[in-house]
Chain A
Amino acid sequence: MGDILLQQNVIILVVAGFLILLMQGLASFFGIYIYKKWDFSSTSAFQYTLEKKSYLIVLILFFSLIAKIILLPYFAFTIDSLSDVVHGAMCAAGVVGANEYGNFLLGLKIFIIFIVGIWLIVNKLDITAYDYPYIKTKLILAIVIFAFIFIEFVLEILYFTHISTDVPVQCCSVIFGVSGSSDPLPFGINTQTLLILFYSIYILVLIANIQKNPLFSFLSTILLFYFGYYAVTYFFGTYIYQLPTHICPFCMLQSDYYFVGYLIWGSLFLGSFFGIVNLALKLLIKQTIQKYFLYSTFFNTIFVIICTSYVVGYYLVNGVFL
């Protein structure tokens, strides 16, 4: 049980995660105090002290959240390096699936990064305004983030302590359904339908962004994220690996494929983030930021271009599709 936990990268991940949890927790709870006593219209020395203290809270939160963002690709890297010690694992896919916590943990981490990003934006808007209009919103949001980070930390410990180095795990071909399990694509669609959906939803995202409609953008982005994941794993990935049976979302993160996985998933995440953020901002602080629609378009387009270029490139070189 302790085997994995004592791996270098895992120790770093867990201890750094604990530090951030601690800082986040202290800052969030001190933030409650500020929330209660805050009265911007007051000119008392106490209010000015509160304003100064809120600087510290915000600073600690800012630092811990940036650190969280850095730790996510590091988590991906750690999982990948664990494939050297976990039997049967050829890449991160096997390691993530080593127990029931893995996939949920990964999903939670991504979700946390998204809400952290929202917090950072609300914070920026708050401190550049003239009267700290969103201070209460961002302090509450910090507590919410803390709760999620706490759950994530517990899950992480559970996950790492339940990876066995003796029992072999499944490799991606079993997990992702090449070796004969049931049809892995959602709603039983085939690859052709998936691709049609993929590109159509991308067009929808573009339209939503041009119209600058937060709700429409949110919905289309979620769909693109969902179907994009399947499209990359089950179709575009095969062109990256140049093997129709190699179905895996993680292998493309390795150096064999020039780490293109980070680019692909990175651009999808960024595109998705900017697509959903405006709805969140509208709900939280009744404001949207126009340029984020543009960023959403930009990153989603890069994502689609990279994916498509592998297919086109393969066709141009080989004259056929896989």
Chain B
Amino acid sequence: MINKTFLSFLFLLVYQHRIKHISIFLISTLLITILVSVMFISTSIKHQLLSFVDSQSDFVVQKVRAGNRDDIPNEWIDDFRNIRGISHIQPRVYGEYYHLASDYKFTIVGIDLFDEYTSLQIKKVFDGIDIEKFMSEDYMIIGNGVKDFFDKNYYKEYYNFLTPQLDIQRVMIFDTMPKNSDIISNDLILMDIDLAKRILGIDKDKSTDIVLNVPNDTEWINLKVELIDKHHNIKIITKEDLQKSYTNLYNYKSGFFLIVFMILLLTFCLVLYQRYSMINSSDKKEIAIFRATGWSIKAIIVLKVFESSIVGIFSFLLGVIIAYIFVFVFDAPLLADIFLGSHNIGYDISFVPYIEFSMLFSLFMFFMIFFIASVLIPAWKIATSDIDGSLR
């Protein structure tokens, strides 16, 4: 029964009844636009974060004391270095610095430019950077959020940090981070490792933690054992753990939104049901004509369900397109703030287009199940109305 002729007849009827369908079309497009926008934002951020995590080291080792992280002695690096399979091992220095007056915090990351690996990475990110100049004085590279904050507080060329010993440490601004790394780097400050240790109050021969790379993943299980063997009071965070945590977090956040959406959807379904249940006499007459000429109840139900489904399908498509433009062209004003949640420093984020088609398909399937469920009873009602009575 469902062939090309049926479909073209269907579109003819949809057009004929367009006034009835238009309100539903607009509301459902709006709903879908909001939902899909939220999903786009979430997956875009998640994707960026996961790409970032992917470029991180395979293992992070932290010293633990009384359940909390303690600064790790640098000599432990030599203890770990000889474990088989480690291709690269390096200390990391980082921490949070509070601007007391405004309660903002930056994340300071110390980089050891004498380390070949690190300086290669830096050169990759900051094309053409003059490393020698950077190392000659107390310089820092700041994220865009930090820059905005400094500008607002009239720090144009330098900033005075207060060390834990209450000394003032002036650091000159060298450069800002590339804009497309904003999700990660917005409130980051990069500086020389020793300078960072001074400001964060970390001993010269200690670091925040140690990272290591183990290219062969079959060695990973053994590695954990051997690390603990050397020093038992450590915590090991794997890259895999990080990835799973981030994935979990973002799925969690979007899961929450989905629930909110569902409540809206339920309301929408009631509206849908009401709208299509309003069967006026001309609708009844039209269907009675169909039935009088040989259409079965089943055929009418198929017709009506398909007719409504077309409205649903097209509103979904349009909603997705509008959501795409809203998020990836206009960077989702208003909506973005809800997701990025940080009241720390104002974000000026640009979302990188990334679409999970499986997610879109899931949403589509879910939406259509509810949509069609809502129009079943109205379709039945009109299909089974009395033929003779409707035509008199």
Contact = CB atoms under 8 A, between A and B. Distances in A.
In-complex A–B contact (CB below 8 Å): yes
Interface of A: 3, 5-12, 15-16, 19, 23, 52, 55-56, 59-60, 63, 67, 70, 74, 77, 81, 84-87, 127, 165
23 contacts: A3-B252, A6-B251, A6-B252, A6-B255, A6-B256, A7-B251, A8-B258, A9-B362, A11-B259, A12-B258, A12-B366, A16-B369, A19-B370, A52-B384, A55-B383, A56-B377, A63-B372, A81-B358, A87-B240, A87-B241, A87-B244, A127-B298, A165-B248
A81 B251 CA distance: 11
Contacts of B129: none
A287 to B, nearest CB: 22
Nearest to A16: B369
A8 B297 contact: no
A160 to B, nearest CB: 12
Interface in B338-392: 358-359, 362-363, 365-366, 369-370, 372-373, 376-377, 380, 383-384
Nearest to B251: A7
A8 B247 CA distance: 11
A70 B384 CA distance: 28
B380 A84 contact: no
B37 interface: no
Contacts of A55: 297, 301, 380, 383-384
B185 interface: no
A43 to B, nearest CB: 16
Contacts of B255: 5-8, 10-11
Interface string B115-145: 0000000000000000000000000000000
B340 to A, nearest CB: 19
A19 B241 contact: no
B308 interface: no
Contacts of A52: 297, 384
B373 A23 contact: yes
Contacts of B358: 77, 81
A68 to B, nearest CB: 11
A5 B244 CA distance: 16
B380 A70 contact: no
A165 B380 CA distance: 45
B252 A70 contact: no
